[in-house]
Amino acid sequence: MMGDRLNGKVAIITGATGGIGEATARRFLDEGAHVMVTGRNPEKLAEIVERLGPSDRLSHFTADVVDEQQTKASIDATVERFGCLDIVFANAGVEGAVRPIDEQTQKDLLDVLQPNVIGVWNLLHHAIPHLKKRGGGSILITSSTAGLTGFPGVSAYCASKHAGTKQP
């Protein structure tokens, strides 16, 4: 069902090569938005764009949110392509190694914290000035029940999701 709730709005979606990212891109397009999908894998991005269908309201950019300059470049490309930025969806993230904390390494922890925490910060740091220029906007960040409680074997993931969760 086509709508117009987002007509004329411009969105960037990180982690668009996963199911949540692709479904969100489809919904945003259905609601009238212009959408920049981003991800680390150019082949997967091309597949997503093909599945979403040809549209002058859809573009893609290869970037890893862990790399601040690539993240900034993806935002700059969005603004250059569509003229502004209204919606930021920080969806990129990883679960990481699944094993007890005493069997994990600090590298395992950093491999999760980098995209799930630093990547979100990189995105917001460079996107917020564009949202301010528009007088505001929407920021969405994918979280998890792991941001509310702990689960065995995924301590790094739980820590990364707690980092961005506001508790009442």
Which residues are the active-site residues? Answer: 157
98 alpha-carbon distance from chain centroid: 22
Rounded Cα distance between 60 and 68, Å, is 18
> 12 has which bridge partners?
36, 88
Secondary structure class of 153 (helix, strand, coil):
coil
List CB contacts of 27: < 8 A, sequence separation 6 or more: none
Look at residue 166 and give its three-state secondary structure.
coil
- Tell me which amino acid residue 20 is: I
